[in-house]
Structure formats: structure tokens, C-alpha cells
Amino acid sequence: MTTRDWAGLDQWRREGSQIWASKRLDESTPWFDGHFPGQAILPGVAILAMICQATRMGFDEALVLRQVARVRFRELVTPGVELVLTLDLKESLDEVEALFSVNAGEQNFARGRLVFARRDRGS
């Protein structure tokens, strides 16, 4: 199983430069296995994997993660939460920047900025 399988988003849509996606997390979600016994907590890398997947789904070209910047994990994510990912995209010839926020209702779990290089454009 790859991280792409683990991050599998339940819903996804793109409108212009914005992407919305969601993922319902229950105790059977593989990311919780062993992290941590007795108190399941979603690893931050799982949130980043979801953001990467949501971004890449919006493009017909390969995007390579180049930079993770200003990422803040604000709250612990536990089973039973439905995360809503909101991404604002900024595109140039060489890269795609995704400013993201991860929420459940009014609660913010994470926010930050990822930068992807466009692989087939000379990167």
C-alpha cells in the first residue's frame, strides 16, 4: 500500500485557482496504526500527503514537491473527524504554490504552504 492509497480523498473539486477536498477518518484509517497505541493521532505527514494528493489531482502533469514552508499543525487529529482541505493555488511556468488550510467545522488543524516544481517543464 502506498501513501497515495492511504491519503485517498473522499471528495475533491477544483474551481479556478481553488481546490476543496475532504477525508473522513475512522479508526480503520491505516495512518492511525501504531500512532499511538491507546490514543490514535494522525501524523502530520498524513496531512501533508493529503494536501499533495489534492494538489496533484488538479494537474495533467507531474508535480514534484520542492518546498514545505510555514506549516503549522495546530490541533491533534483523532479518529472520527472529517477533514476539509482548502487550497488556494498560485501557478507560474515553473511551479505551483498551494496555500492550504485543514479544518473540521470551525476548528483549524493545520495550515501552510507547499511548492511543487513542474517536472516536465525542465525541472
Q: Is 35 a catalytic residue?
A: yes
Q: Evaluate whether 121 touches 93 at the Cβ level (below 8 Å).
A: yes
> Which of 35, 56, 66, 113 is an active site residue?
35
**Could you tell me the three cell numbers for 2?**
502506498
| Angle at alpha carbon of residue 63, lines to 58 and 67, rounded to 5° | 115
Burial bucket for residue 33 (CB in 10 Å: 0-12, 13-18, 19+): exposed
Q: Evaluate whether 5 touches 23 at the Cβ level (below 8 Å).
A: no
**Could you tell me the three cell numbers for 59?**
494537474
Active-site residues, by number, are 35
